[in-house]
Amino acid sequence: MPNKLRAAITGVNGWVPEDRLTNADLEKMVDTSDEWITTRTGIKERRILRTPGWATSDMAAEAVRGLMLKTGLLPGEIDLLIVATVTADMVFPDTANTVCDKIGAKNAFGFDINAACSGFLYALATGAQFIVAGAYEKVVVVGADMMSSITDYTDRNTCVLFGDGAGAVLLEGRRDGTGIQDFVLRGDGAGREFLHMKSGGSLRPPSHETVDRREHYVYQEGKRVFKFAVEGMVSTAQEVLRRNHKTVDEVDWVVPHQANMRIITSVAEHLGVPMEKVMVNIHKYGNTTAATIPLCLWEYEDRLKKGDNLILTAFGGGFTWGSIYLKWAY
Ligand code: ACO
């Protein structure tokens, strides 16, 4: 249906800090090796935000400033700005409003979405609804996480995985058949047992005891999460393809959340998609949680063509997971 109004990504930009944390650096911090990290995760280095006074909103603001430069978008034109993150600057206010203030988006309102590694997909689907409803014309969706602020650098199980970064996209209406075609988003709160940050919320407010017990960091049962991640990403990708009468051969690009190279290759194998069609940058940035998918789109932007069929797919804490099918707009 070419005339149907759809929300399309019409610009993308990414921002990562300059400081690198390499596997060699981690070898000096915990009992690990470049060989273990590379073979088990595919990660070689991650970016770490070390600018004093900077937080998630600053990375997000940098990503959006670059997006405005690329697209000609003016701050006053932004109607809505959504930030997907699990590392908000503060428990409240939300990071999106801080970003709006920092970039001068005086006519926008904003809010955060907390869906861990699926956050960008949840936020993209949410932002798209304001476009297709005809309520707004310019929606900015950001995925940004400063994972170094909640990573325990004495825990080898998790500290090798995460990095910091931000990615942003502009959503606008299109009636030429391009844009977001469909999405399948899921959640299962029972998964909170396996992937969470134990303290700091209303259940266990911060105290000397929670700090002593190191409960303000990511906790993950990696093996369990691994299995659910592959199943969740594959099943939702297949579902969104099936109900749009698309075969895997018609997919030009799979854009998977970058948690582990073995998860990415396993998802590609189960779907039957060759790795040449799968966006990968995990070796450079590790798992930047909500930022991985927009950072991939940013780095592969030059290779995308108008009309390309993309499957965005992710799995993360919650559990949350899902897939979005979109046709690239430019
Ligand atoms: N260096 C060396 N050895 C290590 C390290 C390390 N950095 N980390 C763990 N090990 C050891 C373990 O202690 C264990 O040793 P043992 O057998 O003596 O007990 C051994 O290596 C194997 O550990 P596993 O946890 O079984 O390793 P696995 O192959 O499962 O890899 C990993 C771990 C990378 C975490 C993997 O399970 C994974 O990627 N899981 C899913 C991550 C994911 O998708 N998360 C969701 C998104 S994140 C979010 O939402 C915030």
Read off the pLDDT of residues 84-139 as tens digits, 9 standing for 90 and up: 999 999 999 999 999 999 999 999 999 999 999 999 999 999 999 999 999 999 99
Residue 185 lies in a domain: yes
- The tens digit of pLDDT for each residue in 124-157 reads 999 999 999 999 999 999 999 999 999 999 999 9
Residues 238 and 199 in one domain: yes
For the beta sheet containing 6-15, the strands, ordered from the edge strand earlier in sequence to the opposite edge, are 6-15, 164-174, 139-146, 80-84, 109-113
Task: Tell whether 289 is covered by a domain.
Answer: no
Look at residue 290 and tell me if it is in a domain.
no
For residues 220 and 194, is the Cβ–Cβ distance under 8 A? yes
pLDDT in tens, 249-261: 999 999 999 999 9
Residues with catalytic annotation? 117, 257, 287
pLDDT mean over 39-64: 98
Confidence class for position 2, pLDDT limits 50, 70, 90: low
Distance CA 100, CA 95 (A): 9
pTM: 0.97
Listed residues 157, 177, 197: the one ending a domain? 177
CA of 150 to the centre of ligand 1 (A): 17
Q: Do 205 and 170 have their domain in common?
A: no
Nearest Cα to 138, choosing from 174, 167, 104, 165?
Answer: 174
308 and 242 both lie in a single domain: yes
| Residue 149 lies inside a defined structural domain of this protein | yes
121 and 187 inside one domain:
no
pLDDT at residue 246 above 90?
A: yes
How confident is the model over 303-330, as a mean pLDDT? 98
Question: Any residues with Cβ below 6 Å from ligand 1, and which?
Answer: 32, 36-37, 40-41, 116-117, 156-157, 160, 195, 218, 222-223, 225-226, 229, 259-260, 263, 287, 289, 315-317
Task: State how far the Cα of 240 lies from the Cα of 219, in Å rounded to an integer.
Answer: 31
| Residue 223 CA to ligand 1 centre (angstroms) | 7
In-domain check, residue 283: no
Cα 272 to Cα 243: distance, rounded to the nearest angstrom: 18
Do 191 and 46 lie in a common domain? no
Q: Is 1 inside any structural domain?
A: no
Specify whether 231 is located in the same domain as 161: no
Claim to verify: residue 53 and residue 153 sit in the same structural domain: yes
The pLDDT of residue 1 is above 80: no
> Do 202 and 314 belong together in one domain?
yes
Domain's final residue, options 177, 202, 226: 177
Report pLDDT for 329.
98
> Residue 277: what pLDDT?
98
> What is the tally of structural domains in the chain?
2
**Structural domain range at position 123:** 6-177
State the pLDDT at residue 12: 98
285 assigned to some structural domain: no
User: Is the same domain home to 102 and 242?
Assistant: no
At which of 156, 177, 198 does a domain end?
Answer: 177
pLDDT digit string (tens) for 276-302? 999 999 999 999 999 999 999 999 999
Mean pLDDT in the chain?
98
| 15 and 84 co-located in one domain | yes
Residues 119 and 238 in one domain: no
pLDDT tens digits along 185-241: 999 999 999 999 999 999 999 999 999 999 999 999 999 999 999 999 999 999 999
Mean pLDDT over 36-62 rounds to 98
Kindly state the percentage of the chain with pLDDT values over 70: 99
Pair 217, 273 in one domain: yes
Burial class (CB in 10 A: 0-12, 13-18, 19+), 202: exposed
Q: What is the CATH number of the domain that holds 203?
A: 3.40.47.10
